[in-house]
Amino acid sequence: METLRNFRAFVKKGDARSKESNNHAVIYTRVSTKEQAENNLSLDTQKKYCQQFAEKQKLIIRGYFGGTYESAQTDERREFKNMLAFVRKNSVSHIVVYSIDRFSRSGAGAIGIIAELSKKGILVRSVTQPTDPKTSMGSFYQNIQLVFSQYDNEQRRAKCITGMKERLSRGYWVGKAPLGYCHIHDANNKPVVVISEQGKLLQKSFLWKVHERLTNTEIARRLKALGLSISKQRLTEVFRNPFYCGIITHGLLSEPVMGSHEPLVSQEVFLKANQIVKKVPHDYKHQVVNDDLPLKRFVKCKQCGVPFTGYFVKNKGKHYYKCNNPHCKSNTSKDKLHDLFRQLLVNFRVDKKLIEPLKMQLKYVFEHFCKVDTSEYAVLRKRFCEIEQRIEKLKERFAIGELDKALYEQFMDKFSEEKESIAKTINSLNGGDDLASFTAYAEEVCKNLLLLWDQGNYEQKQRLQYLLFPEGLLYSKESNLFDLLGMNPICSDKRLSDYDTICSGT
């Protein structure tokens, strides 16, 4: 015996033994849904019985975790992870829960966590399911309870999915309402979705996209001025969601169904907006917009039919056009191709017979775009006044020393920019020049299309080009001539011969 005492210093002392011996504990409570957390006393009841259990077992409570709604289907829960981190870092031996399914319903995942905690001497104790997890039988019984909790969860999930499928197939939306809609209860106390105030603004975004061909960035700017902040990426999701035209598509459905909710826009408007978004998703463009190269993609190589692209030569400081076919050598300078296109435009006029009908149509267009949307105008005026009040409040706080100069300038720049943006939108709603000057300018432009092209930006030039020549133009480097693939009938046929005469003399 004396000999064995000499070897006591070599006995390995594990952390599990020391932790098992202490009586420190934490209490973890939870419910699954927000409604349970707000409408019943389950959390308080769990906490009460856990405290009584800890007192009876003479455990010292080191902390409380949970106390909120967290689904136990997964163990990636904030309060749950905080609790695990706490017991691992501190000298805690017990985790007290009301029942084992309050700890977790993830089955095998929960068994793995408990096994890992057990190696560190940390035990999970259930108030309503008393077992001794230190024994093999107690551990086995606890594992059975965890597996059964997962099975119960899967059964509930299967029943829930069946109900969701049935409701969706009848045209009723389930889950969180899409942006622009909100949940209410009908006369039979059943949840339905209806258009919200945000939805009325989103409705405008569809019309802007279809009728004015605005980019998502511009639409987002307009919506922000009206009080709805949304990213251009989120707008793309909206334009691609058929829910807004009354059609329900869902991962639980194999086919689309007609929804019972009120559509935000017609199916025709939705499909048009969707087609526009498909062409340029998220407004991402691969260096297409370049005011120096408006003929890109519009002019095609006569030899191979591939659209021209453009590039910039730094040494010369000049832009060039070239065929996008790597095997084709057709290229020319921007100045040369633009001069040739100007020669083409200078001989084109809108047919005189169409001037009067065109002026009549312009009158309708002018009245349509200058008509003030009173609801939109009222919202903008309200937002404008709110921004002015914020600016005055900001000045006052800066004057009395509540804000430093850097913070003052930061918010002043932000509010001023927003105020200017709203003011521009209000001015656009108020209308511009009078009808007479508008039609007079339009008539002058119709007589001089070259002037319109020279003064326009990239987008305006492209619109004019495709308006006059919907199929584009073919360019031959050898002859330095354009071949017309077709022409808008608003221009007289006489112009074609004029162009041929000009080109033959060059």
Q: What average pLDDT does range 31-45 have in this prediction? A: 71
Which tens digit of pLDDT belongs to each residue from 128-183? 888 878 888 878 878 887 777 777 778 887 888 888 888 888 888 888 889 999 98
In this structure, what token pair is assigned to residue 132? 């001794």
Calculate mean pLDDT across residues 74-82.
76
Average pLDDT of the segment spanning 336-348: 88
pLDDT confidence of residue 339: 92
pLDDT of residue 429: 62
Q: Where are the alpha helices (DSSP H) in 120-243?
A: 136-169, 197-211, 216-225, 232-239
Strands 318-323 and 247-248, sheet pairing: unpaired
Query: For 103-134, what is each residue's pLDDT tens digit?
Result: 877 777 778 888 888 888 888 888 888 887 88
Grade residue 319 by pLDDT with cuts at 50, 70 and 90: very high
What per-residue string of b and e applies to 224-258 under the rule 16 or more CB within 10 Å gives b? bbbebebebeebbebbebbbbbbbbebeeeeeeee
Coil, helix or strand at residue 396? helix
- The structural domains of the chain, ordered by start, are 9-155 (3.40.50.1390), 181-283 (3.90.1750.20), 299-349+448-504 (no CATH)
Confidence (pLDDT) at 17:
41
The pLDDT-based confidence of 320 (bands split at 50, 70, 90) is very high
- pLDDT at 371 exceeding the cut of 70: no
Give Cα 157 to chain centroid, integer Å: 29
Asked if pLDDT for residue 337 goes beyond 90, the answer is: yes
DSSP class of residue 228 equals -
Q: DSSP state, 350?
A: B
State the average pLDDT over residues 320-344.
89
Instruction: Tell me whether residue 273 is exposed, middle or buried, using C-beta atoms within 10 angstroms of its C-beta: 0 to 12, 13 to 18, 19 or more.
Output: buried
Task: Quickly state the pLDDT bin for 1 (edges 50, 70, 90).
Answer: low
What pLDDT is attached to residue 301? 92
Query: Is the pLDDT at 420 greater than 70, yes or no?
Result: yes
pLDDT at 493: 45
336: pLDDT confidence band, cut at 50, 70 and 90? very high
CA–CA gap between residue 455 and residue 460 (Å, rounded)? 9
Q: How many CA atoms lie within 13 A of 278 on its CB side?
A: 8
Chain center to CA of 231: 5
pLDDT, tens digit (0-9, with 9 covering 90-100), for 268-318 = 999 999 888 887 655 544 445 688 899 988 999 998 889 999 888 888 889
CB 298 within 8 A of CB 462: yes
Q: Quick one: pLDDT band at residue 368, thresholds 50, 70, 90?
A: low
pLDDT of residue 80: 84
pTM: 0.48
The per-residue pLDDT for range 208-219, each reduced to its tens digit, is: 888 888 888 889
Of 194-198, 281-285, 498-502, least confident by mean pLDDT is 498-502
